[in-house]
């Protein structure tokens, strides 16, 4: 299994729960790649989509993508840009959104023209949100889950699932990813 982790705005591969996830899930059978997206403090939709194409290529039934915050809509844009016929073992979106965030207008190009989200068919998709996220409104994550017909998991008190919220480890992610990896296709 190839697991790709897509970080969010102002983040990097060495932050939050990403190193833990890599150490926890890298095995002889499974590889974990935490992507390093360009200009995380001034992200561009085209730059991030290009990097996802370069790093992930064309996903297959042995591909799992885990994305956080801005990485969620960036991942969805990347998947929507692929030619038909791709597949995924699963997609896990953490604190995801597909609509503008009033406090972060720099990110609006990622959420513009987002009708493609309603047309996406991802067999196994989970959205994890908290009930007290001050960066991404929990209702925005719930709306994203509804649009994708995804499973929605709400974590009480999880904040934005960053290091400052105490997320060096992520037990809810561990459970979801473990179940996904054990599912036979």
Residues assigned a catalytic role: 69, 133, 160
DSSP 53-113: HHHH-S--TTEEEEEETHHHHHHHHHHHHSPTT---SEEEEES--SS--TT-GGGHHHHTT
Residues β-bridged to residue 63: 2
For residues 50 and 82, the answer to whether their CB atoms sit within 8 Å is no
Here the tokens at position 152 are 């929605």
Here the tokens at position 47 are 């730059």
């Amino acid at each position: 299994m190839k697991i790709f982790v897509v970080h969010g705005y102002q983040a990097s591969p060495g932050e939050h729960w990403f190193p833990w996830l890599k150490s926890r899930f890298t095995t002889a059978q499974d590889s974990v790649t935490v992507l390093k997206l360009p200009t995380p403090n001034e992200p561009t939709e085209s730059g991030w989509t290009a990097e996802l194409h370069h790093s992930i290529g064309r996903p297959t039934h042995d591909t799992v993508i885990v994305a956080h915050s801005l990485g969620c809509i960036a991942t969805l844009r990347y998947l929507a840009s692929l030619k038909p016929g791709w597949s995924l073992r699963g997609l896990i979106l953490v604190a995801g959104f597909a609509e503008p965030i009033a406090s972060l207008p720099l990110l609006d190009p990622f959420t513009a023209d987002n009708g493609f989200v309603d047309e996406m068919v991802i067999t196994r998709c989970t959205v994890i949100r908290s009930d007290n996220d001050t960066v991404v409104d929990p209702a925005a994550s719930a709306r994203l889950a509804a649009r994708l017909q995804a499973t929605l998991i709400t974590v009480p008190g999880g904040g934005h699932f960053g290091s400052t919220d105490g997320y060096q480890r992520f037990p809810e992610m561990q459970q979801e990813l473990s179940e996904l990896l054990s599912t036979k296709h």
